[in-house]
Amino acid sequence: MRKIIIAGNWKMNKTASEAVKLATLLTRDLADITEVDIVICPPFTALADVHDVVTDTNIGLGAQNLYWEDEGAFTGEVSAPMIKESGAQYVIIGHSERRQFFGETDQTVNKKIKAALKWNLTPIVCVGENLEQREKNKTFDVVSGQCKGSLAGFTAQEMEKMVIAYEPVWAIGTGKTATPAQAQEVHKFIRELISKMHNEDVASSVRIQYGGSVKPENTAELISQEDIDGALVGGASLSSDSFVKIIKNARK
Ligand code: PEP
């Protein structure tokens, strides 16, 4: 039985003091949740402060990106050991906004996953098609290419340590959610692909989150799908009210 994992991607929102306030509310309102792995991903500048708030609680901490080298002349970048020392246990890799606006490719995603695993950070690896690709019936080709490219060269043991997030780009921040059936279809496809790349045991243990306009009202139905093991939540993770409701509604 895979445990549900809900992660909040705060994107470029919240100063450190605002982030501490939101994290404090979440620790209070989610303290009794044991059935869901809860993760919040504030901006880099808030990681250490939010870590102080969530230490010894049921809320995990993640970063939103990393660079694959440990250190060096890479102005503006942040490495896995830096993230690790800030107290995070997770890192989002290959989010569609990074692919779209910052030139991230399956090859850079692959290097970043390697760096994350080296430093014992759990990668949340994002894949998903855009609207044009969906309309041209290219969804499975695109997702398959992204998975094969991003997840190439890892052992079964490494694969088991990852979380995959299927995020149709057309559903991110648009208010349009994939129907539970549309999402389930792609999740099942990804799981079968992992089975082919490794084996059935690995495929059945890897958690696959859905992301794209997840709200309190659509959470339960999405999560009830067999291959949907949680959610990566953007907009609705920025208020404690809606994020708490999403987590409560996600309990299968
Ligand atoms: C995301 O950023 O990963 C996301 C799914 O955003 P939203 O929930 O706002 O669509």
8 A C-beta contact, residue 80 and residue 115 = yes
Question: Residues 6 or more apart from 61 whose CB is under 8 A from it?
Answer: 39, 40, 41, 42, 47, 50, 51, 54, 87, 88, 89, 90
Structural domains of the chain in order of their starting residue, each with its CATH number = 4-251 (3.20.20.70)
Question: Each residue of 131-164: pLDDT tens digit?
Answer: 999 999 999 999 999 999 999 999 999 999 999 9
The predicted structure's pLDDT at residue 135? 93
Q: Which CA distances in Å does 220 have to 52, 161, 231? A: 31, 25, 11
Residue-by-residue DSSP string for 54-86: HTTSSEEEEES--BSSSSSS-TT--BHHHHHHH
Closest ligand 1 atom to residue 211 Cα is 5
The predicted structure's pLDDT at residue 177? 85
Closest ligand 1 atom to residue 235 Cα is 9
Probe residue for ligand 1, chosen from 65, 232, 247 as the CB with the greatest number of ligand atoms within 8 Å: 232
Question: Each residue of 27-70: pLDDT tens digit?
Answer: 999 999 999 999 999 999 999 999 999 999 999 999 999 999 99
- For the question of residue 167 being annotated catalytic, the response is yes
pTM to 2 decimal places: 0.97
Lowest mean pLDDT among 2-16, 34-48, 93-107, 170-184: 170-184
Distance 178 CA to ligand 1 centre (A): 12
* pLDDT above 70: residue 252: no
Which residues' Cβ are closer than 6 Å to ligand 1?
9, 167, 172-173, 211-214, 232-236
